Chain A
Amino acid sequence: MSDVSFVRTEMLPQQEPPGSSVGVVGWARANLFDGVTNSVLTIVSLILVYFVLEGLLTWTLQSVWNASSLTECREIMTATWGKTHGHACWAVINDRWLQLLYGFYPPYPAEAGVNFGENTGAWPAYFRPNLSFVLLLIAVAPVLFDKVPRKLLIVTAVYPFLMPWLMWGGSIWSPLMAAAGFGIGFLAYRLLTPVIGGLGGIIAAIALPVIWWLFLTGIVAAGLESVVSISIPEVESRKFGGFMLSILIGVVAIGCSLPIGIVLALGRQSDLMIVKTLCVGFIEFIRGVPLITLLFVASVLLNVFLPPGTQFDIILRVLIMVTLFASAYMAEVVRGGLAALPKGQYEGADSLGLNYWQAQRLIIMPQALKISIPGIVSTFIGVFKDTTLVSIIGLLDPLGLSNAIRADAAWNGIYWELFAFIAFLFFVFCFGMSRYSMYLERKLHKGH
């Protein structure tokens, strides 16, 4: 027999893991104090975080909210805490936040020069920009989230015409007539196709609205205005400013650049040599120069390129250039999506007998755009951030306004509070967009 003196006959009961490897202690040991280097890093980081938070929280929270000038702010600080630095003077935001948000846009839907006295801040102050913003949210909701009722897409379709009217004011007939151009194009296609054939229908559907917009819209709108006058007071472009301006430029550039970018990307991917060369030339040119040079073009050169005597306002010129800029980047992102699509998808579309546009619409684009969502959103974020550059050519975006506020004797020398406020607002928008892109990626992930 063997010498084994002891053999266990029953299984041991399962034991709890040691106390040092579960719970908070276990987590901290695994993630913070795993080895000497890691522990040192943790301690150094903790000290760093402590000092930053200590300074930052004191600065943010122990602050002055009510003062009419920086000097008064400093007096209050000296009286309360005995020193003037290390505490924020949010009074400047309290004093000027309306300006930082809306620039010099008139608070009331009214003529210039009308003084509202003590009513100036009351509802419906800034009714028009606020309504535009709310409508914007409603208009993009059905595009962004598929749980929103589809009927809201009507708002999306109307918005491009409604927004300029609300913001710039004037007669309602101009945006209505501009929208009518699309109706004319649609009708022309429907009615003329049976008569003059498919190709003729398409040409008519493009040519007639263009003629309408170029030559007739103004006359018809003026005529209708003289018959039935429905108009709201006009607001000049130079009064636009603040975050309203950033959002306006950002939204218009983003909205227009996606379709233009898709067309450019298709052109760049196509077999037609001349079309391809033109698209490549445009994209590489725009991507090779900084936005600021394009803004210089907008501010000093664009009028030179147009027929003599053309004068149109600086915001429109900036919108055009920023849109062109964004389109080139968008085209590259979409092209990346097109290139990433397996060749089998193109061949599959061909073998089903789809023509080029059908294949693009039903098979290629849905997949290519899905692949390029992260890139598209980061282009959006980039464009939105780049709207700050307009301050260099003298438009009053938040950064431009911060200089204007500093030029006021009461707030001369105030930096951090203004920068913090502006940075915070940009951060909220951009961070929100990047989170949305992550959500969309997860949602559209149809793979395993």
Chain B
Amino acid sequence: MTTLTDPPKASFRLSMLIYDTRYRSLTIQAVAMIGFMLFAAWLINNTMTNLETLGKTPQFGFLLEPAGYDINQRLLDYNSQDTHMRASLLGLLNTLLVAVMGCITATIIGVLVGVLRLSKNWIVAKIMTVYVEMFRNVPVLLWIVLAMAILIESLPAPRAFRGENPEATMNLFDTVAVTNRGIYVPEPLFSNSLGNIHLLGQSSLRFDVSVDLMAFLIVLGLSIFGITKVNARAKHIQETTGERPKTIWVNLGLFFVPTGILMALLGFHLGYPELKGFNFKGGTHMRNSLIALWLALSLYTAAFIAEIVRGGILAVSHGQTEAAEALGMRSGRTMRLVILPQALRVIIPPMISNYLNLTKNSSLAIAVGYMDITGTLGGITMNQTGRELETVLMLMLCYLVISLSISMVMNWYNNRVKLVER
């Protein structure tokens, strides 16, 4: 017969903090925390002492002083009397502009190259391999300065467009001028414009909202809403009767007619660039720096995206293709309906990190003089005011916010398309 006795009551001893696994983790964490706090305190203390010696106690008042420099490529109105804060804001918008443009083109090129690299056509596949290896193995900064050099050195100067028998002509039926000072494209103009709404008065964050654009977007939104309704009805009819009514013409009409009427009402026309004096006037001027950065970042990131897409497609088992063929699907539909939706789940997470990389790489704009946030806040503002700590901290904060928001949005999308398992 056995009797159960309680194990001897363990009283807490100090050595248990080290030798007992239940408490050891607490000890380690406490030591780590103390160590970290001591380290942080040491850093902050050093910083404070050093800054006081230099007479630069941290303060952000410099943001409201006039910047005194010009930003040539800008999305909002700005002059050199505006504050550093507005200059930074314009820089931030420029960063976002090139990041968005770059992500879009990089995705298009990358998907195309990735699919073509799997092509059965030997020579096409090889060309795409050469493209990918060439761009992946050479630093992006080199591509950016190279693109800039190509634009400046090999394109015609505006004066080449002049005279009876010009050396250079404008492209696309005389609407686009490609010069070594940048590309001039037609700009949308409204002769019966509804004007702008000024927001936030004269502050550093002021901006204008174009009523024309808002009206256009609202009408477009309504059209798209109508199209979804029509499609939903078509689907309903298909499910009840088995026959899908033809919706293509209704959809096209819904899409183009209201927006067309609105455009006509607003007096929409294009403002073409024209050579006046030594330079082109009119149209929208995209500076070389923007184009070089955009081109180089898109082509560079596209090489990585191509590899991701290729990996994603290869990750879908061949049985899926065969099953789709057995069902009688054509190769285009197989790709669109069977392969891509499954490949997307593999593709999206690394794609997110490539978008983030592109956004962070856009900080290399400083090498070609594109005034993004690194060029304004981290460049001229830092050099003019001598406020290194504040500007670098704000710069990092901006990039952190951008990075975290991109990854949040993309993770949300990823969760939506993710395969739901049990």
Residues of A bordering B, CB below 8 Å? 30-32, 34, 38, 41-42, 45-46, 48-49, 199, 271-275, 278, 284-285, 287-293, 296-297, 300-301, 303-308, 381, 385-389, 391-392, 399, 415-416, 419, 422-423, 426-427, 430-431, 434
Contacts and interface: CB of A to CB of B under 8 A. Distances in A.
Interface in B363-385: 363-364, 366-367, 374, 378, 382
B392 A300 contact: yes
A31 B50 CA distance: 68
Given A45-B124, A199-B18, A297 B392 contact: yes
B139 A385 contact: yes
Given A41-B119, A304-B51, 13 more contacts: A32-B123, A38-B120, A285-B396, A287-B356, A289-B396, A291-B360, A293-B378, A304-B389, A305-B47, A387-B139, A399-B145, A415-B153, A423-B142
Contacts of A284: 404
B363 to A, nearest CB: 4
Nearest to A278: B36
Interface in B12-37: 18, 25, 28-29, 32-33, 36
Interface stretch (B129-137, B161-169, B288-296, B317-325): B129-137
B361 interface: yes
Nearest to B406: A288
A351 B257 CA distance: 72
Given A289-B360, A399-B142, A415-B149, A430 B396 contact: no
Given A42-B123, A278-B36, A289-B400, A296 B145 contact: no
Secondary structure of the B side of the interface? helix
A49 B123 contact: yes
A419 B363 CA distance: 21
A293 B396 contact: yes
B259 to A, nearest CB: 35
Contacts of B51: 304
Contacts of B361: 290
A290 to B, nearest CB: 4
B392 A296 contact: yes
Contacts of A431: 133, 137
Contact of A32 (B122, B134, B374, B392): B122
Contacts of A41: 119, 121, 124
B141 A308 contact: no
A42 B139 contact: no
A57 to B, nearest CB: 15
B247 to A, nearest CB: 29
Contact of B46 (A285, A307, A381, A434): A307
B49 interface: yes
Contacts of B25: 271-272
B395 interface: yes
Nearest to A356: B21
